């Protein structure tokens, strides 16, 4: 097969030696070209070019942001995406069941390619940009913004730095006294007082070390989206979210201050004032509206055995 390996050299787990080892492993039985990203958005351009050239697989050695960019480059084409974790959290790769070590993950990916374990999956979109696992709106995005402003600390501080950024944002950098947006569901329901929404294409929402944040376990790549909205940023509500996500395998349920919707095919978030959002862990700025959509079978994916995406029948 023809494979383009996109590598983000600035990702936390990507070293020159790792790139060489992975490229050699992929090249043993396949025609492989290595392309390194140089700037934000570069992976989308590389992936789109590879798909136009008829490349069979775009493999991505990097974090969730680089993987998302590549997915947006190959969506709707016959080129398959193969994640190889190289970032600090690697939510999507871990959701699929890939090991965190990139070399080990490459071996698992090669086994999947050998057995023709490639299938189509559903994606969500936010303002026409596709996401693999989630979109965060409001408080969640404000935390990601603070993390990205201190990218050097993200690389070395890991999950402890994310926890500190979350507390600092809650205490000093996000207005907890007024709602930030409205949520209009496709059934006509309107939530007037949104502070924090998560639209999930898969679960978990993220990881804290080895522990998953299980928000809506029914969210899978074969079903429409799930949308969770916090209607308060009180310490009680956030504590409930964290404790439930880390300890309850059934995830969150609708209750006081929390709205949970499943099988969401479309929704719209609006406000008179700009509000922040992030997509697959990548902060995208402030907007006054977000249109959410679900698109089934949008992307071809190289799939190892995993909890959310069962191995498909071999392709004959």
Decide if pLDDT at 12 tops 90.
Answer: no
In this prediction the pTM is 0.91
Mean pLDDT of 174-186: 94
Model pLDDT, residue 236: 84
**Which of 40-44, 144-148, 247-251 is the most confident on average?**
40-44
* Phi, psi of 282, rounded to the nearest 5 degrees: -110, 115
Hey, which bits of the chain come out as E strands?
2-7, 31-36, 57-62, 80-85, 118-126, 129-131, 134-138, 181-185, 190-194, 196-200, 207-208, 211-212, 225-230, 258-264, 266-279, 282-302
Of 81, 86, 89, the residue nearest 104 (C-alpha): 86
How would residue 316 be classed by pLDDT, with cut points 50, 70 and 90?
very low
Alpha-carbon span 232 to 180, nearest angstrom = 10
Decide if pLDDT at 301 tops 60.
Answer: yes
Query: CB under 8 Å, gap of 24 or more: what pairs does 190-194 form?
Result: 191/229, 191/231, 191/259, 193/231, 193/232, 194/137, 194/138, 194/229, 194/230, 194/231, 194/269
Angle at Cα 225 formed by Cα 137 and Cα 154, nearest 5°? 40
How would residue 305 be classed by pLDDT, with cut points 50, 70 and 90?
low
Q: 33-84 pLDDT, tens per residue?
A: 999 999 999 999 999 999 999 999 999 999 999 999 999 999 999 999 999 9
> By percentage, how much of the chain surpasses pLDDT 90?
75
Model pLDDT, residue 119: 94
Tell me the two tokens of residue 263: 């099988």
Task: Considering only CA atoms, give the Rg of the chain.
Answer: 19
Domain residues of the chain, as ranges? 2-116, 131-295
Model pLDDT, residue 155: 59
Alpha-carbon span 248 to 253, nearest angstrom = 11
How would residue 263 be classed by pLDDT, with cut points 50, 70 and 90?
very high
What SS3 state is found at 215?
coil
How would residue 247 be classed by pLDDT, with cut points 50, 70 and 90?
confident
Q: 276-294 pLDDT, tens per residue?
A: 999 999 999 999 999 999 9
Q: 110-126 pLDDT, tens per residue?
A: 999 999 999 999 999 99
Residues 6+ positions from 287 with CB-CB distance below 8 Å: 127, 274, 275, 277
Render 18-31 in DSSP notation, one character per residue. HHHHHHHHHHTTSE
Identify the architecture of domain 2-116 in CATH. 3-Layer(aba) Sandwich (3.40)
Class for the domain spanning 131-295: mainly beta
Model pLDDT, residue 312: 42
Mean pLDDT of 244-251: 85
Decide if pLDDT at 109 tops 80.
Answer: yes
Model pLDDT, residue 225: 98
Model pLDDT, residue 240: 80
Decide if pLDDT at 306 tops 60.
Answer: no
Model pLDDT, residue 249: 85
Alpha-carbon span 130 to 46, nearest angstrom = 17
Decide if pLDDT at 248 tops 50.
Answer: yes
Model pLDDT, residue 315: 38
Model pLDDT, residue 57: 98
Mean pLDDT of 178-184: 96
Of 179, 206, 212, the residue nearest 195 (C-alpha): 179
Mean pLDDT of 220-236: 94
Model pLDDT, residue 11: 82
Model pLDDT, residue 241: 82
Handedness of CA 211, 217, 221, 225 (dihedral sign): negative
What SS3 state is found at 84?
strand
């Amino acid at each position: 097969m023809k494979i383009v390996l996109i590598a983000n050299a600035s990702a936390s787990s990507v070293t020159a030696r790792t790139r060489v080892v992975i490229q050699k492993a992929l090249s043993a039985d396949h025609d492989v070209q290595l392309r390194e990203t140089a700037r934000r958005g570069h992976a989308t351009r590389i992936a789109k070019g590879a798909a136009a050239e008829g490349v069979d697989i775009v493999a991505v050695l990097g974090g969730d942001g680089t993987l998302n960019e590549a997915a947006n480059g190959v969506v709707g084409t016959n080129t398959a995406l193969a994640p190889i974790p190289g970032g600090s959290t690697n939510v999507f790769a871990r959701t699929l069941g890939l090991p965190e070590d990139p070399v080990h993950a490459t071996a698992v990916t090669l086994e999947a390619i050998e057995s023709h374990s490639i299938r189509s999956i559903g994606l969500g979109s936010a303002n026409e940009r596709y996401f693999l696992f989630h979109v965060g709106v409001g408080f969640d995005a404000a935390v990601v913004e603070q993390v990205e402003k201190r990218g050097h600390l993200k690389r070395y501080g890991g999950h402890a730095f994310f926890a500190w950024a979350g507390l600092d944002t809650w205490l000093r950098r996000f207005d907890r006294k007024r709602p930030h947006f409205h949520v209009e569901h496709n059934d006509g329901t309107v939530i007037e007082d949104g502070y924090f929404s998560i639209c999930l294409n898969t679960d978990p929402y993220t990881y804290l070390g080895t522990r998953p944040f299980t928000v809506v376990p029914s969210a899978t790549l074969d079903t429409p989206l799930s949308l969770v909205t916090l209607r308060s940023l009180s310490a009680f509500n956030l504590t409930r979210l964290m404790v439930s996500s880390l300890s309850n395998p059934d995830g969150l349920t609708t209750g006081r201050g929390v709205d949970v919707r499943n099988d969401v095919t479309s929704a719209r978030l609006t406000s008179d004032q700009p509000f922040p959002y992030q997509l697959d862990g990548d902060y995208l700025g402030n907007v006054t509206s977000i249109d959410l959509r679900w698109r089934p079978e949008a992307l071809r994916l190289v799939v190892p055995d995993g909890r959310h995406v069962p191995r498909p029948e071999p392709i004959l």
